[in-house]
C-alpha cells in the first residue's frame, strides 16, 4: 500500500478521486498528515466510512525514534530513527541565536565515496522516500516542542542522487498546509552532480544550494571525491553559474580543511582564482571532522587562519564554520548509515 506521507497535496487529491471520494478530501487528508497525526483514525473531520476507504487503500507509516544523543558542550542533538525496513538514519538539531536548524538525511547511506566522510563507508542502502524525509522534521518538532526555522538536507546521502524525492520534499516542505517552511529557509547540498544541478536550476526554486568543493583543482579533488572523475571543476563551475543565472540565489561552496592535503597557502590562492569571477558566492571553511576509519586529520587553527587571510585579501566572501556536535559524531561528515554504541 502507498504511504500517505509520500504523496503531495495534488497527488492526494487524485488518489482520493481514484477511490471514489471528492478531490477536496485530499486537501483535508494532507492537512491532517502534517498536523502530526499517527493514525488515519486521528483525522477528526473525515467520516468513518471515508476513513475505512482510506485504510483499505493506504497506510500511514511514520519513522520511529531509536536513540537520542546530546552534546554536552554545545547542546547539539542527534537522533537515530528506524525506518520500516529497519534501516537507521540520523538527524541533527542545532540551536543558533536565530532559532533551530535541522539537518536531515536524504538516503540510507551514500554511494558518492568521498574519502573523508563516514556516511559513505557502508555504501548506499537505498533512497529515502518523501515521507521519510518530511517525517524527520515533524518528529523532531513533536519530540522537542520547537519550531524548526531552517532545514538543511546535508545529512547522510546525496540529495541530488535522490532527485525526484528531494524535489517533492521541497514542495511539501514549502506548502502552507504541509511543513510550511519558506524555500529560502531550505538548503540542499550536493557533491557536484552536474546534470542534476542544471535540472534543479530549471525549476527556478528559491532554495539555497551548497556545493561540496573541498579542493581547488581537479587532481586533488579526484583524490578526495570520486564524483570529480566524472565531472571536472570547469563543468561544475559552469553548472553553478547557470544555477545562479536562473535563480539569482547565492551558492555556498563547502570546503573541508584537511591537514597537509588541501589547506596550504597555494590551495587558498588557487581557490580564490577559481571563484574570483563568480557572482554572489560564499565559501564555508570547515575544519575537517575526523572519523575512525580514515587517517585524515583536521587542519591546525593556524592553517585555517592563514587560508582565511588569503581569501580575504582576494575579496572572496567566506566564513569559518562553528564546530557543533563533534562529541556525539553529529558534525559534518560524521553521520553514518549504521551507528556505534558510545
Which one from 15, 90, 132, 196 is the annotated catalytic residue?
90
Query: In the 8-state DSSP scheme, what is residue 332?
Result: T
Cell numbers at residue 57, please? Answer: 487503500
Sign of the four-CA dihedral 21, 27, 28, 29: positive
One DSSP character per residue, 139-198 reads HHHHHHT--EEEEEE-SSS-GGGGHHHHHHHHHHHH-TTTT---GGGEEEEES--HHHHH
Residue 198 CB: number of other CB atoms within 10 A? Answer: 14
Cell numbers at residue 220, please? Answer: 586533488
Sign of the four-CA dihedral 311, 312, 318, 324: positive
Residue 90 annotated as catalytic: yes
Residue 332 annotated as catalytic: yes
Residues 6+ apart with CB under 8 A from 221: 213, 214, 215, 228, 233
Residue 106: which of 94, 122, 91 has the closest Cα?
A: 91
64: left (phi over 0), alpha (psi -120 to 50) or beta: beta
Place of cell 538539531: 93
Which one from 103, 110, 114, 332 is the annotated catalytic residue?
332
Residue 325: which of 13, 92, 53 has the closest Cα?
A: 92
Q: Could you give the residue numbers annotated as active site?
A: 90, 332
Amino acid at each position: 500500500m502507498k504511504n500517505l506521507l509520500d504523496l503531495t497535496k495534488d497527488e492526494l487529491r487524485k488518489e482520493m478521486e481514484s477511490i471514489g471520494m471528492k478531490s477536496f478530501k485530499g486537501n483535508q487528508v494532507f492537512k491532517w498528515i502534517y498536523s502530526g497525526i499517527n493514525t488515519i483514525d486521528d483525522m477528526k473531520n473525515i467520516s468513518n466510512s471515508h476513513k475505512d476507504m482510506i485504510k483499505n487503500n493506504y497506510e500511514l507509516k511514520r519513522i520511529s525514534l531509536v536513540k537520542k544523543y546530546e552534546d554536552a558542550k554545545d547542546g547539539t542533538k542527534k537522533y537515530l530513527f528506524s525506518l520500516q525496513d529497519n534501516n537507521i538514519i540520523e538527524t541533527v538539531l542545532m540551536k543558533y541565536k536565530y532559532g533551530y536548524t535541522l539537518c536531515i538525511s536524504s538516503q540510507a547511506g551514500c554511494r558518492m565515496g568521498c574519502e573523508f566522510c563516514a556516511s559513505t563507508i557502508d555504501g548506499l542502502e537505498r533512497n529515502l522516500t518523501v515521507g521519510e524525509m518530511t517525517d524527520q522534521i515533524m518528529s523532531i518538532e513533536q519530540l522537542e516542542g520547537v519550531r524548526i526555522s531552517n532545514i538543511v538536507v546535508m545529512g547522510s546521502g546525496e540529495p541530488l542522487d535522490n532527485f525526484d524525492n528531494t524535489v517533492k520534499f521541497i514542495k511539501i516542505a514549502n506548502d502552507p498546509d504541509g511543513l510550511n517552511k519558506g524555500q529560502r529557509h531550505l538548503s540542499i547540498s550536493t557533491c557536484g552532480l552536474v546534470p542534476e544541478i542544471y535540472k534543479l536550476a530549471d525549476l527556478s526554486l528559491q532554495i539555497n544550494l551548497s556545493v561540496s568543493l573541498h579542493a581547488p583543482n581537479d587532481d586533488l579533488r579526484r583524490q578526495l571525491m570520486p564524483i570529480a572523475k566524472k565531472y571536472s571543476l570547469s563543468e561544475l563551475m559552469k553548472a553553478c553559474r547557470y544555477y545562479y543565472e536562473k535563480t539569482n540565489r547565492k551558492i555556498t561552496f563547502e570546503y573541508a580543511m584537511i591537514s597537509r592535503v588541501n589547506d596550504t597557502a597555494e590551495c587558498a590562492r588557487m581557490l580564490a582564482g577559481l571563484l574570483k569571477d563568480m557572482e554572489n558566492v560564499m565559501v564555508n571553511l570547515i575544519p575537517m571532522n575526523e572519523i575512525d576509519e580514515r587517517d585524515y586529520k583536521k587542519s591546525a587553527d593556524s592553517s585555517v587562519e592563514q587560508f582565511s587571510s588569503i581569501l580575504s585579501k582576494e575579496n572572496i566572501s567566506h566564513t569559518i564554520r562553528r564546530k557543533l556536535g563533534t562529541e556525539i559524531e553529529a558534525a559534518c561528515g560524521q553521520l553514518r548509515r549504521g551507528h556505534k554504541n558510545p
